[in-house]
Amino acid sequence: MNSPGFFETFGFGPDGWGAALAVGAVMTVLIAVCGFAIGAVIGIFGAWAKISGGPVARAAAGTYTTVLRGIPDLLVIYLFYFGGSAVISAAGRLFGNEGFISFPGFLAGALAVGVTSGAQHTEVFRGAFRAVHPGEIEAAVACGMSRMLRFRRIVAPLTLRHALPGLGNVWQVVLKESALVSITGVVELLRQSQIGAGSTGRPFDFYVVAAALYLAISTVSGLALQLAEKHSRRGTGRAS
């Protein structure tokens, strides 16, 4: 019996792996989006602590960024998954459950990716805020804007404008980090490729297709970020 061809193997027919890989790609994007969003929230507070916080807040933010940028991302995922499982299992024993309770793999992965990317977000937002010209903020103060109004109309838009290129780089890193979440049992793109490779005995084909899908996701999201950056700079001129 002849083995199925490339297009039959990766098609969307009854014996094809196309649908499974597509679901894995969607899971990869979901993990990356959740991790990026969590990291952005952490980064906002981390940047605020470094810029306007007191000595304790600045020290905490500095320690956080130093430690998280110095620890392998895979180790952070392990800590969240097995640490979370240990906590849940201990809580279960209080209610008479003596077995092991696994921490949800998707949640562990998203939190781990978010915490690791939060250190990068912190530096991106901090640098972007420093790039805002002080005169623009002083003009808002002179116009009598309240602190919240000043933040909403002046500080946040200008900071985001300067941060977008750096956020694009963080997104690409987060997208690649999502592949590590497969160790928690989440069937994302890389894990689905491993399953398909083991089932068909065609690892090279599956990993090439996975690489192409990762590249497609990266390219599309990169173009979207470029459009967002272009939109944020509308009405501003370039220095000649």
User: For residue range 122-177, what is the model confidence (pLDDT) as tens digits?
Assistant: 999 999 998 888 888 888 888 888 878 888 888 888 888 899 999 999 999 999 99
Average pLDDT over residues 52-57: 90
For residue 38, tell me if it sits in a domain: yes
Q: Is residue 146, in this structure, part of any structural domain at all?
A: yes
pTM over 0.85, yes/no: yes
Residue 62, in any domain of the structure: yes
**203 lies in some domain:** no
Please tell me the predicted confidence (pLDDT) of residue 240. Answer: 38
Task: Give the pLDDT confidence score for residue 149 in this predicted structure.
Answer: 84
Number of domains forming the structure of the chain: 1
Report the CATH number that the domain containing residue 85 is assigned in CATH: 1.10.3720.10
Task: Let me know if residue 231 belongs to a domain.
Answer: no
DSSP state at residue 132: S
The mean of the pLDDT values for the chain is 89
Cβ count near 31 (within 10 Å): 28
Alpha helices in 71-133 (DSSP H): 73-94, 105-131
Q: Is residue 232 part of a domain?
A: no
Over residues 177-184, mean pLDDT = 91
CB atoms within 10 A of CB 78: 16
Q: Look-up: residue for tokens 């094809």?
A: 16
63 in any annotated domain: yes
- Print the domain residue range for 44: 29-191
Rounded percentage of the chain residues whose pLDDT exceeds 70? 97
